[in-house]
Amino acid sequence: MVTSAEQVSNFSAQAAAVALSSGAPHRIRDQRRRGRGAGLNMAGRFEPTSREAFDDGWQTLDELPPFKTDVTAEAARKIITTNDSPDIPFEQSMNPYRGCEHGCVYCYARPTHSYMGLSAGLDFESKLFAKPNAAKLLRKELASEKYVCKPLALGTNTDPYQPVEKQWRITRDLLLVLEETNHPVTIVTKSALVLRDVDILERMAKKGLAKVALSVTTLDRKLARAMEPRAATPGLRLDALRKLHEAGIPTSISVAPIIPSLNDHEMERILDAGKAAGAAEATYTVLRLPHEVAPLFRDWVQQHYPDRAAHVMSLMQNMRGGKDYDANFKTRMKGVGPYAWQLGRRFEIATKKLGLAPLRSISMRTDRFVPPALAGQQLSLF
């Protein structure tokens, strides 16, 4: 369990042998990572050394236990994060959790675990951090005289409805504060667990305060299981989209990420399925491979699709100026070059044909916002 320096040391002592090395990261054996997305657990990019397990002949590597999900309570100091990026459709967001149990191998948020001294690989999906004081922090920040009401985005870094939300219920607590204050919220998720909170979202939607986007990467259950091992199946996501729509909650379909030669041919089918399930808006992004995500994805595609791994990476680099990733604003979400241009035109044609509007076409009400009253705070007479 890697949640502190002491625990890192304890975990290392369990291994038969651990060597300090600057070589390639060791691939974790399948029996230890069953049900997980990443095949590696290399040290974070800020660590002074890297660790590589090797077999010393005593067979102790086989005796190490499978990776299990550990959740550490984090005493967060702030819950609302702001940004001024020109290619992100929100200005402020919240993340109830660090790390994500869904285990999506392509997740662009994986490198954030390096700031915790943990790996962007298996640690990211098994060593999680929850913010149980999130609702209290939100209430305090919304009560500030300097606060300006703008739609808050939930699910921008890690999924607010990942499996651990069933026990921690932090996302629901946040929604209750937002409902109380008439604050607009947008949600992006891969989980059907969002239906648990349809009661809150339905009431908020009637006031123009809520909408939900379901991210669907593929309709192929086998590919989805390999890429997103603990996320809801594609069918469950589309069913959630349908039920949200039936409850009167505005919905969007997000085709993300598009991976050349793996799921790119499914774009039109996913958009069509989303429209049939009631989606009013649509968006897409291409695969992003920042920092540690690149070697993690390379390892994954080589293991699962060795026949086309080189082709996948070649097309990816064609969209990134010859590199695995280009973080430039305006291009990092869609890519550049002929292949990226083709994806863009296909999306435009398909959404026009289906009558799907661009993301953010559905306006959110901010004029209803009423700041919360904190304990001991005098209420206004007007």
Cα distances from 152 to residues 93, 136, 148, 211, in angstroms, run 5, 16, 11, 11
pLDDT tens column, 294-346: 999 999 999 999 999 999 999 999 999 999 999 998 899 999 999 999 999 99
Residue type, 268: E
Query: Quick one: pLDDT at residue 377?
Result: 61
Query: Quick one: pLDDT at residue 1?
Result: 38
pLDDT > 70 fraction of the chain, expressed in percent and rounded: 87
Average of per-residue pLDDT across 49-75:
72
Average of per-residue pLDDT across 66-77:
92
Query: Quick one: pLDDT at residue 246?
Result: 98
Domains and CATH numbers, the chain: 5-63 (no CATH), 71-358 (3.20.20.70)
* Mean pLDDT of the chain, nearest integer: 89
Q: Which range, of 6-20, 52-66, 288-302, 321-335, averages the lowest pLDDT?
A: 6-20
Contact 138, 177 (CB under 8 A): yes
Cα distances from 264 to residues 194, 316, 317, in angstroms, run 27, 12, 15
Spatial separation of the C-alpha atoms in residues 53 and 32, rounded to whole Å: 13
Average of per-residue pLDDT across 131-136:
97
pLDDT tens column, 110-127: 999 999 999 999 999 999
pLDDT tens column, 340-382: 999 999 999 999 999 999 988 788 999 999 999 887 665 555 5
The two three-digit tokens of residue 363, written as one number: 């306006």
Number of CB atoms found within 10 A of residue 262's CB:
24
Query: Quick one: pLDDT at residue 140?
Result: 97
Average of per-residue pLDDT across 201-205:
98
Contact 32, 67 (CB under 8 A): yes
Spatial separation of the C-alpha atoms in residues 43 and 229, rounded to whole Å: 22
Give 283's contacts (C-beta < 8 A, 6+ positions apart): 89, 213, 252, 253, 254, 255, 256, 358, 359
Query: Quick one: pLDDT at residue 145?
Result: 95
Confidence of residue 62 (pLDDT cuts 50, 70, 90): low
Q: Is the pLDDT of residue 14 over 70?
A: no
Q: Is the pLDDT of residue 58 over 60?
A: no
The two three-digit tokens of residue 300, written as one number: 């994954």
CA dihedral 126, 132, 135, 136 (to 10 degrees): -150
Instruction: Identify the three-state secondary structure at position 282.
Output: strand
Instruction: Identify the three-state secondary structure at position 229.
Output: coil
pTM metric for this prediction:
0.88
Contact 188, 155 (CB under 8 A): yes
Query: Quick one: pLDDT at residue 3?
Result: 40
In total, the chain counts a number of residues equal to 382
Q: Which range, of 40-44, 158-162, 202-206, averages the lowest pLDDT?
A: 40-44
pLDDT tens column, 221-237: 999 999 999 999 999 99
Contact 274, 213 (CB under 8 A): no
Query: Quick one: pLDDT at residue 378?
Result: 55
Q: Give Dmax (Cα) for the chain.
A: 77
Confidence of residue 48 (pLDDT cuts 50, 70, 90): confident
Q: Is the pLDDT of residue 293 over 60?
A: yes
Spatial separation of the C-alpha atoms in residues 326 and 336, rounded to whole Å: 10
pLDDT tens column, 230-269: 999 999 999 999 999 999 999 999 999 999 999 999 999 9
Instruction: Identify the three-state secondary structure at position 203.
Output: helix
User: Residue 128: which H helix or E strand, with range?
Assistant: strand 127-130
Helix residue ranges per DSSP H, 53-147: 122-126, 134-142
Cα distances from 140 to residues 42, 133, 182, 280, in angstroms, run 38, 11, 15, 34
Average of per-residue pLDDT across 67-94:
91
User: Residue 289: which H helix or E strand, with range?
Assistant: none
The two three-digit tokens of residue 232, written as one number: 């809801």
